[in-house]
Amino acid sequence: MTVIYTDQSHESLNESLQFLMEKQGMPLEKVIELRTKLLDRADSLLSHPKSGQLEEYLEHLNKYHRRLIEGYFKIIYRIEGEYIYVTDFFDTRQDPEKMKG
């Protein structure tokens, strides 16, 4: 299997980390540590791709999106054949309706 990060996932991760740094005052070292932790957790899907629960907020898309929880973040992904597509890093302190896209 291969983990593929979509453009959307990169965008949402960068926006969230930027917000934490600029608006919440999180030090750069902590932001880098959080980013590494989130990406490592997503890469762990190579060993256990179905370890995440189905994501109920995305059921309407019928693509069987799953989620892993890491701190305040949901790592949203779906499995298609030999590929694991990470589609979003969603900060759970936001309104979950934003996830519906």
Q: Give 4-24 pLDDT, tens digit per residue.
A: 999 999 999 999 999 999 999
Go through the chain and tell me how many residues it has.
101
What's the pLDDT tens digit per position in 31-68? 999 999 999 999 999 999 999 999 999 999 999 999 99
Residue 85, beta-bridge partner list? 4, 78
pLDDT in tens, 58-99: 999 999 999 999 999 999 999 999 999 999 999 998 777 776
Reading the block at residue 55, the tokens are: 């994501």
pTM: 0.91
60 burial type by CB count under 10 A (0-12 exposed, 13-18 middle, 19+ buried): exposed
